[in-house]
Amino acid sequence: MSFGPKRSFLKEGRSHPGLPDGVCIPVFIFIISGGLSSSPSTPAKPRSVLEKSAETGYSDRNILPDGHEHVDANRLSSFNAVDKDQVPFKAPVEVQTGAESPSTTLPSWVQEDSGELSKWAAEEAASPKGYGGKQHSSGSSSLSSFFSSGGNSDGSLVWEERPKFEKALARVIDMLPGEMHMRDLLRQVEGTGKEKLREMGLRVRAYKSYFEAWEDLHLGFDAEGGTYVRDDVVQYLRIHEHTDVSKGVPSMSDMALSQKIRAYESYRYFLAKFGQLLFPWTAPYFSDHMTLHAHFKRGGRGIVLTAGDGQAAYLLTSIPIMRQLGCTLPIEVMYLGDSDLSEDFRADLEVLEGVITRDIAQMVNDEGWKLAGWAAKPFAILFSSFREAIFIDADSLFFRNPEVLFDDPGYQATGALFFRDRIIVPENKKRWLQQILPKPISKQVKQSRFWTGNSGHMQESGVVVVDKWRHFLALLLITRMNGPDRDGNKDEGRIGVYDMVYGDKETFWIGWELAGDLDYVFHQGDAGIMAGLEESSTPENYTICAPQLLHLDTDGKPFWFNGWLLDNKYAEKKQKKIGSFVHYLIEPRDVRDPVAWQLEESNMCCLTTDPDKKFDFSDAEKKLLEDMITKATEVGAPGSG
């Protein structure tokens, strides 16, 4: 059985790619047709790099009375959508060599040629291809020898024009912020609590528009989906100095070469500083955010877990159960250094097929703060090698194959699937949401429990499913919320994110909203509780008290639960014991007074519900629960001895 990703691994990215032989023919035709003149064109009248095109009419600068520039998030977000004609650079496809090489069909313009060009092109098409721009010997029938009779005899480089590239470059130059606006974006994020959270949302929305424009210029994909970073902008512009590469783009047509290069390099400097200001902890492990983003473009699907020594036995139980359910996804167990997950436990986990352990402590630069505990969840998701990840808490167990989460219609539509928490502890946080979220506030927020006041608990982060390629900037913001902005300090008057919400769980959907990313859904299954009935239960008011939170699928069947297998996971070590799981109750969907859920001592939750909400586990479900308990006993999990 294979536990490899559902897609092949990321193809090695290439920076500064050389000139492939396979693209030389159109270059040659371009040259002999007079596309490159030996004499420079008439110098264009210099134009400010900040002058905007008449077509777009874009201006990103609003001067405030105090002299600062205002970040207009709505205007900046208009650049989020990529022009339908703005497709990524397509890298040339490598061709196999030797006798097994497939036959190559020459372009029609070569087939129609009856002279030396056709003969030379046929030889080139049959020769090995690569990305290195290999040198030919002087005696070979190569592009360099062909140039000796009609090309550039001085041996200077000639690169094929890339019209989509020019359009992307024009977009970058057009978006370059003015001095005051740039200074405003690059200043330190001040304030605390709600004010800082709102400012971070505005900054990240701005960074998203600049980052996406930068990626449009530099990222390309080959026919196999491999990711390439084009880092040859200055060289390309220099080679085409005397050629009109603007393709009618007003913001570039009148600019001198030096202006274009200065504008490009100013944007590069600005974006590097902006990214370092907002999310500095990804370096030096990843040189920049584009490199990190490209890293998992073809990472396929997988499961991400986190564990220390205290949770290793949980994973040694849950992973075999997932395999028993038919899950073949690769699994990455993320940990925070040797003191978190010891070498012995790492070896035990990696004996399980399809499992590797990875140390995220060496990937995250947490200088000035400390990455620890449940705050590591979003970092584990972000730094996993998968593009599409199912994060599962160590104390969570499944009744069904977790792979089916990728088939959820909501996930397929949005690329982000979250689960609801219990409807417990009524609390209205509408005013708080209005204070932190940039306007307009989404429909999803207005339907949330925070807004309606039904509960101060909206999300349960025991399972999170996310396509990281689609939601990269939202994930970066969530890591910040669980990183340097996490903790407050009363003595310093600083309010942290965890002072405003309970742990990491609410930071996911709120982080999505702050980043202006509205593509997420909550699973449509109900929540419930599982254990034996309380002695005080009656047919009119069934009650179960237990630490487990049960999630059901959309058919009303048990799907997964968190809280492990103990009857009280917060009890002293010697008092911990495995619970008895016979029945389960489903919480009512309406809000009641008194509420259906009650929070007791040691975080024990009690659910009282209607007779038609009480169910018994099926024989197959009981057998699976027995298998879980048996496996937990075998590995010496807490409470099983």
**DSSP assignments along 279-296, one per residue:** -GGGTTTSSSHHHHHHHT
CA dihedral of 41, 44, 46, 52, whole degrees rounded to 10:
-120
Cα–Cα distance for residue pair 556/525, rounded to 1 Å: 7
Q: Look up the domain containing 569 and give its range.
A: 527-620+629-634
Q: Write down the pTM of the prediction.
A: 0.77
List, run by run, the mean pLDDT of 10-residue segments along the chain (641 residues): 49 41 47 46 41 38 39 39 41 40 38 41 40 34 34 52 81 96 97 97 98 95 82 89 61 84 97 98 96 94 98 98 99 98 98 98 96 96 98 98 98 99 95 97 98 96 98 99 97 97 97 99 98 82 94 98 91 87 94 85 89 95 98 91 68
Query: Residue 462 falls within a domain, yes or no?
Result: yes
Query: Residue 135 falls within a domain, yes or no?
Result: no
Same domain, 220 and 311: no
CB burial of residue 564 (10 Å; 0-12, 13-18, 19+) = buried
Residue at a domain's end among 278, 306, 327: 278
Same domain, 269 and 299: no
Per-residue DSSP letter, 373: G
Q: Which amino acid is at 129?
A: K
* Residue 286 tokens, joined: 């990843």
Query: Residue 537 falls within a domain, yes or no?
Result: yes
Cα–Cα distance for residue pair 630/640, rounded to 1 Å: 9
The residue written with tokens 């609390």 in the block is: 427
Same domain, 307 and 189: no
Q: Among 536, 378, 582, 396, which residue's Cα sits nearest to residue 471?
A: 378
Q: State residue 265's pLDDT score.
A: 98
Same domain, 399 and 472: yes
Query: Residue 169 falls within a domain, yes or no?
Result: yes
**Cis peptide before 92, with omega less than 30 degrees from 0?**
no
Query: Residue 402 falls within a domain, yes or no?
Result: yes
Same domain, 263 and 336: no
Same domain, 59 and 190: yes
Q: Among 333, 338, 326, 337, which residue's Cα sits nearest to residue 311?
A: 333
* Residue 234 tokens, joined: 């200055």
Q: Which amino acid is at 556?
A: G
| E strand or H helix that includes residue 507 | helix 507-514
Q: Where are the beta strands (DSSP E) in 474-522?
A: 521-522
Query: Residue 254 falls within a domain, yes or no?
Result: yes
Specify whether the backbone of 144 is left (phi greater than 0), alpha (psi in -120 to 50) or beta.
alpha
Cα–Cα distance for residue pair 381/303, rounded to 1 Å: 9
CB burial of residue 304 (10 Å; 0-12, 13-18, 19+) = buried
Residue at a domain's end among 248, 278, 308: 278
CATH code (residue 367): 3.90.550.10
Same domain, 465 and 564: no
Rg of the chain in Å (alpha carbons): 29
Query: Residue 119 falls within a domain, yes or no?
Result: no
Specify whether the backbone of 618 is left (phi greater than 0), alpha (psi in -120 to 50) or beta.
beta
Q: How far is residue 173 from each of residues 176, 235, 263, 276, measured CA to CA in Å? A: 5, 17, 6, 21
Q: State residue 415's pLDDT score.
A: 99
Same domain, 189 and 305: no
Q: State residue 2's pLDDT score.
A: 56
* Residue 412 tokens, joined: 């397929």
Cα–Cα distance for residue pair 437/434, rounded to 1 Å: 6
Q: By 3-state DSSP, what share of the chain in percent is helix, strand and coil, each rounded to 5?
A: 35, 15, 50
Same domain, 355 and 381: yes
Q: Among 369, 391, 363, 377, which residue's Cα sits nearest to residue 486?
A: 369
Q: State residue 406's pLDDT score.
A: 99
Cα–Cα distance for residue pair 88/569, rounded to 1 Å: 51
Q: Among 80, 287, 73, 264, which residue's Cα sits nearest to residue 184?
A: 73
Q: Which amino acid is at 109?
A: W
Q: Furthest-apart CA pair in the chain: how many Å? A: 98
State the first-to-last Cα distance of the chain, in angstroms, to the nearest integer: 32
Same domain, 512 and 547: no
Same domain, 265 and 304: no
Same domain, 476 and 351: yes
Q: State residue 154's pLDDT score.
A: 52
Q: Among 137, 200, 84, 107, which residue's Cα sits nearest to residue 482?
A: 200
Q: State residue 86's pLDDT score.
A: 42
Per-residue DSSP letter, 616: E
Residue at a domain's end among 505, 522, 539: 522
Which residues, other chains included, contact 79 with Cβ-Cβ below 8 Å and sequence gap of 6+? 171, 175, 209, 212, 213
Backbone angles phi, psi at 397, to 5 degrees: -135, 150
Q: State residue 593's pLDDT score.
A: 72
The count of C-alpha atoms lying within 13 angstroms of the C-alpha of 441, restricted to the half-sphere facing its C-beta, is: 15
Pairing of strands 219-221, 227-229: antiparallel
The number of domains in the chain is 3
Query: Residue 514 falls within a domain, yes or no?
Result: yes
